[in-house]
Amino acid sequence: MVKAPKKLIEVALPLDDINAAAAREKSIRHGHPSTLHLWWARRPLAAARAVLFAQLVNDPGGERGWGKYPGQTKEDAQKERERLFAIIRELVKWENTNNEELLEIAREEIRKSWRETCELNKGKPGFDPDKLPAFHDPFAGGGAIPLEAQRLGLEAYASDLNPVAVMINKAMIEIPPKFAGKAPVGPIPDGEQADTRGEGGWTGAKGLAKDVRRYGHWMRKEAEKRIGHLYHKVKITKDMAKERPDLEGYVGRELTVIAWLWARTVKSPNPAYAHVDVPLVSNFMLSTKKGKEAYVEPVVEGDSYRFEVRVGKPQDVVAVKKGTTAGKRKAFVCLLSSVPVDYNHIRTEGKAGRMSSRLMAVVAEGDRGRIYLSPTSEMERIAHSAEPSWKPEAKLPDNPRDFKTPNYGLTTFGDLFTPRQLVALNTFSDLVQEARERVIADAKRTGWHDDGVGLDAGGTGATAYGDAVAVYLAFAVNKIVDRGCSICSWDSSRSSIRNVFARQAIPMTWDFVEANPISESTGNYLGGIYWACEVLKNLPSKNYGYADQENAQNQKTSHDKIVSTDPPYYDNIGYADLSDFFYVWVRRALSAYFPVLFSTIAVPKAEELVASPYRHDGKDNAERYFMNGMKQAMANLVQRSHEAYPTTIYYAFKQSDTQSTGTSSTGWESFLEAVIQSGYLIAGTWPMRTELGNRMIGSGTNVLASSIVLVCRKRDESAPSIPRRQFLRELKEELPEALEAMIGGKKGASPIAPVDLAQAAIGPGMAVFSRYSGIIEADGSKMSVHDALIQINKVIDEFFNEAEGDMDSDTRFCIDWFMQYGFKQAEYGQADVLARAKGTTVEGLAVAGVVETGGGKVRLLKFEEYPENWDPEKDTRTPTWEALHQLIRALRSGGEAEAGLLLKKMAERTESIRQLAYRLYTLCERKGWAEEARAYNELIASWHGTIEAADQALGKSREAKQLTLDM
């Protein structure tokens, strides 16, 4: 049997730091893989990196029973853990993504742990201390997890059923290492200087990125020659400037049009105007920027109308913002007669092919920002003159939840584009292929070998390089697909184009915008190229990487590999349906070079693990399909993955998964059940949040935990069943120690904030539950996950209640009083009775400074009421309650530094203060007291910083701490 030391992730994590970094990452765009190609619900890199590191390094506590670290105390282990946490805290920072020095420290820790594991398994096949096992993610999606595995020094394998996802993974982990360090071969764009760096200066994928840029520029120039006539500049005439002082300076100049704003139209339902195509406009505002307001005014003349653009603030902003709608979220009215145009009418018109469009305004590039102009019939004529040679015929799915356009007659993916948009996309797709030919020719000319073997067949020469560059050029085309279809609308507050996928759905839009892909503005091709290059430059581009199309239910790639994965969650996102939007275009550009991957006309759907009632004939069938498939995929991992490492599985939490108790729900329980049934035991459950701290407990606990990472180990096949009694005994034996490790051990570091504790604590409890083949109830039935969770929560409560027993009597009074009245006033008599029961007096409590008495009433002081000049070294009666609330006051008023100074003065109480904060947090959470809960959570969340500040005050410098990283 393989000896598998416990990994750090099975014991403790600096969760708050990971969550904070993951939340921060959300706002980062430059160089972030999310800007290479859209994928829905990507995991933050910070979370993926931290989870992997903690999954790969051994826990310093050692595996119980072997005495792996003889002579080591619990305190030693916690200190060592703290050192590993320090590495994680640095690793998760975005600015350290490519900090080689730090990454090498992390990689060495990973290798060290592997060498220890090999030592324990000496002589067994596969335990070569010089060769780390490889990594595999069978649901790789946007590729965050394999990318981070590669960054941490592992060979990375990624697979997904979806060809678009496979291509994204190829672009991130497979292609860059193949061509790392190579100088670019492409022609330098006009007007640019030659790059003087020598051959050795092209580290990582910088040379590849440069070529993507160079050929991108060439494509843009070629596109202008071929389709420039469809994107005419607009000449500003004296006439146009007559009523538009803002245009005066432009008279005689030709300006580039960057966007055309259209309104869809249907025939008026009013019989008197049944021959008129009336506009469906959700908003006539073009720009709401202060001082730069512009809007469209419809001018009605008899039975016709035209649109005129006005600048300045409209007199009736509300009316302008209403467009031709009948009000917010309501349908429309006929512009000519005000007769309602309801959705039924629009659907009927749309399905009969009678929906059309009218140009409302154009946006041109001015010297200092956007200029809005009235449309002309010539502009419309040019747009209508476009004749695409091809359009995607793939049908939109029958899924009214996520795909709204079929209701209105737009039933194929091709229908989502205007003819001019189709011509542009066809042109750019053709140019990807032509650029590839050029890359191959240029590479050969600059001395590359060429065996004619493409990337798909494992080539590394000129042909393969041509394929590689083509992949990124095609991704940039998909960037304009996302901003260049008739679902895109104009964002009047930012004067830019909204992309299609604000959500994981394709909505219907009424007024839409057409971008100019050959401009230098919003939605242009070079923008896509820029973003692709920024990502490329920041990819690790080292260590082997491989991506392929596989069904997770029967893939074989996981064999002896370390696995961390993020499977689809139930029916949240229909990846296959959504990705057809991109697939049809990337297939057009690249299918000749990746014939197998793009062999199907649309993305394969049948084997996708998604509980879609539309695809699986109703809700029940869909649920059954999903759960069975997921079990099979998990069982496959149990069989194949590397036995020395746990597998980590992300579970995407939905709001509806949480209840007021915070931890249980059917979705979550069935998922746990499926994982356990597939043969895994669950050794850890770590909530991952990507929301910012102040929203953390907005409406009760956990609601914003965006996912939970399950840490799974293969269950011993011969695991017995045990009776309920034994389960409860083992829970009581094991859970307290695990909880202690989570909340930071006796020394008081605090990796887990109270807000996360309820979910994190499930892990060690589930570990006890799931290591047996079953827990047998008194009536002979098997205990369900639901009941196990109830028992686990009971033990967690007891743990904190026991800690209360050690508190001073004043504090015990305060806890009970707080539980009943919070910070409200109540009768003195009741306080008196409670105080006696706890062995104290109300007067004593007043002297201690924790309550206020008067008028026959008593109330607890709020933290902001505590005196600022309090000195615990001079105070002779200091209940833990007082110490805790003083700390919160100090933290709120002077930050971690002030709280640290205070804590330093009562260092011996650190542990009891922290325990009390956890206890009070749990209490507030149950009562739904969000404001109070936040204060306790904040204190724990800042505990690490507060301790550091206290250490600094004690003379230990931050630098000295930092050095521990190098140990």
Ligand X SMILES: C[S@@+](CC[C@H](N)C(=O)[O-])C[C@H]1O[C@@H](n2cnc3c(N)ncnc32)[C@H](O)[C@@H]1O
For ligand X, give the closer residue by CB, 649 or 933: 649
The piece of 173-181, 605-613, 676-684, 725-733 that touches ligand X (CB under 6 A) is 605-613
Measured between alpha carbons, how far apart are the two ends of the chain, in Å? 32
Q: What residues does 299 pair with on adjacent strands?
A: 306
What sign for the dihedral angle of Cα 879, 885, 891, 893?
negative
Q: How far is CA 439 from CA 186, 445, 532, in A?
A: 7, 10, 17
Q: How deeply is 142 buried, as exposed, middle or buried, from its count of CB atoms within 10 A (0-12, 13-18, 19+)?
A: buried
293 lies in the site for ligand X, by CB under 6 A: no
Region label for 928, one of left (φ > 0), alpha (ψ between -120 and 50) or beta (otherwise): left
Considering only 36, 103, 165, 363, the residue that binds ligand X (CB under 6 A) is: 165
Considering only 90, 566, 756, 810, the residue that binds ligand X (CB under 6 A) is: 566
Q: What b/e readout covers 550-567, taking b as 16+ CB neighbours within 10 angstroms?
A: bbbbebebbeebbbbbbb
Residue with tokens 């007669």: 337
β pairing state of 647-652 and 705-714: antiparallel
Instruction: Report the C-alpha gap between 684 and 424 in whole angstroms.
Output: 51
Please count the residues of this chain forming the interface with ligand X, following the rule CB under 6 A: 24
160 lies in the site for ligand X, by CB under 6 A: yes
Using CB under 6 A as the criterion, what x/- string covers residues 736-775 for binding ligand X? Answer: ----------------------------------------
The piece of 108-116, 374-382, 546-554, 860-868 that touches ligand X (CB under 6 A) is 546-554
Q: Report the site for ligand X in 606-635 (rule: CB under 6 A).
A: 607-609
For ligand X, give the closer residue by CB, 49 or 345: 49
144 lies in the site for ligand X, by CB under 6 A: yes
The piece of 187-195, 458-466, 545-553, 944-952 that touches ligand X (CB under 6 A) is 545-553
CB of 552 to ligand X, least distance (A): 4
Using CB under 6 A as the criterion, what x/- string covers residues 894-933 for binding ligand X? Answer: ----------------------------------------
For ligand X, give the closer residue by CB, 168 or 280: 168
Q: Report the site for ligand X in 189-218 (rule: CB under 6 A).
A: none
β pairing state of 562-565 and 135-137: parallel
CB of 543 to ligand X, least distance (A): 19
CB of 441 to ligand X, least distance (A): 36
Q: How deeply is 246 buried, as exposed, middle or buried, from its count of CB atoms within 10 A (0-12, 13-18, 19+)?
A: middle
161 lies in the site for ligand X, by CB under 6 A: yes
What sign for the dihedral angle of Cα 823, 829, 832, 837?
negative
Instruction: Report the C-alpha gap between 516 and 232 in whole angstroms.
Output: 10
Instruction: Report the C-alpha gap between 278 and 298 in whole angstroms.
Output: 11
287 lies in the site for ligand X, by CB under 6 A: no
Instruction: Report the C-alpha gap between 83 and 967 in whole angstroms.
Output: 8
For ligand X, give the closer residue by CB, 141 or 754: 141
Alpha helices in 133-266 (DSSP H): 144-151, 163-169, 175-178, 206-227, 238-241
Residue with tokens 């105080």: 835
For ligand X, give the closer residue by CB, 219 or 597: 597
For ligand X, give the closer residue by CB, 284 or 575: 575
CB of 45 to ligand X, least distance (A): 9
Instruction: Report the C-alpha gap between 463 and 443 in whole angstroms.
Output: 9
Instruction: Report the C-alpha gap between 211 and 765 in whole angstroms.
Output: 53
The piece of 322-330, 561-569, 703-711, 874-882 that touches ligand X (CB under 6 A) is 561-569
Residue with tokens 């910012």: 692
Considering only 53, 85, 575, 582, the residue that binds ligand X (CB under 6 A) is: 575
8 A C-beta contact, residue 80 and residue 65? no
Tokens representing 279 are 């506009």
For ligand X, give the closer residue by CB, 158 or 758: 158
8 A C-beta contact, residue 696 and residue 670? no
For ligand X, give the closer residue by CB, 42 or 944: 42
8 A C-beta contact, residue 174 and residue 546? yes
8 A C-beta contact, residue 287 and residue 264? no
Based on C-alpha coordinates, what's the Rg of the chain? 32
Considering only 113, 162, 791, 952, the residue that binds ligand X (CB under 6 A) is: 162
8 A C-beta contact, residue 282 and residue 510? yes
For ligand X, give the closer residue by CB, 161 or 363: 161
Using CB under 6 A as the criterion, what x/- string covers residues 335-374 for binding ligand X? Answer: ----------------------------------------
145 lies in the site for ligand X, by CB under 6 A: yes
For ligand X, give the closer residue by CB, 706 or 886: 706
For ligand X, give the closer residue by CB, 61 or 138: 138
Tell me which amino acid residue 689 is.
Answer: R
Phi, psi of 784 (to 5 degrees): -85, 165
Using CB under 6 A as the criterion, what x/- string covers residues 100-139 for binding ligand X? Answer: --------------------------------------xx
552 lies in the site for ligand X, by CB under 6 A: yes
CB of 790 to ligand X, least distance (A): 29
The piece of 352-360, 437-445, 604-612, 945-953 that touches ligand X (CB under 6 A) is 604-612
DSSP designation for 542: -
The piece of 204-212, 363-371, 549-557, 807-815 that touches ligand X (CB under 6 A) is 549-557
647 lies in the site for ligand X, by CB under 6 A: no
571 lies in the site for ligand X, by CB under 6 A: no
55 lies in the site for ligand X, by CB under 6 A: no
Neighbours of 367 (CB within 10 A): 9
39 lies in the site for ligand X, by CB under 6 A: yes
Using CB under 6 A as the criterion, what x/- string covers residues 238-267 for binding ligand X? Answer: ------------------------------
Tokens representing 879 are 């209940």
Tokens representing 677 are 């049934």
The residue ranges that bind ligand X (CB under 6 A) are 39, 41-43, 138-139, 141-142, 144-145, 160-162, 165, 551-553, 566-568, 575, 607-609
